[in-house]
Amino acid sequence: MYDGKGNEDVLDVGPRMEVLLEVIQQSKNKVIVIAPFVAVVKKLLEAVRKEGYTAEAIYGEVSKYERDRIFSEFQSDSKLRVLVAQPGAMSHGLTLTAANTIVWFAPITSNETYLQANARITRPGQKVNQLIVMIEGTVMERRYYQRWKDKQKVQGLFLEMVRESRAYA
């Protein structure tokens, strides 16, 4: 999170991290972890590597050449276990069926990007069941995820929640 002056404030994500690491540990196949912000992607990459997993990251600043190398390695190299990504940097036109699990570390606002990112593992050639895990910590996050499940747009969710809170005030 950033304050009004652009300084980074790190929030305690211990419980989310515990869930993430548990999912990675229990997955028999590769895992894609999705986070909405570059700073979070970088911190997750560091944490996952610290736990001993081989991992790479994809976000907007990663060059096309490097992305192509990482995607190819992820799909074909058994050593690369975890891909941590910003969803917009990997949501269209990829086949990543070496993974069967996607973990959403936090929600994003685009239903289209959510669907496209999940489609990376649900492609022809996928041989195992897929698992989409959505880590939530607030009512608003839970409602975002529920709208995604219901294939609804999340654009008006915040305004809807403001209206509801005023009705109870």
One pLDDT digit (tens) per residue for the chain, 169 residues: 556 677 765 555 678 889 999 999 999 999 999 998 898 999 999 999 999 999 999 999 999 999 999 999 999 987 999 999 998 888 567 889 899 999 999 888 777 888 888 888 887 778 888 898 989 888 877 877 777 776 655 555 555 655 666 665 5
Q: Which residues of 99-133 are buried (b: 16+ CB within 10 A; e: fewer)?
A: bbbbbbbbbbebbebbebbbbbbeeeebeeebbbb
Type of residue at 121: I
H-assigned helices in the chain: 14-26, 38-50, 64-76, 111-118, 139-149, 157-168
Distance CA 104, CA 57 (A): 14
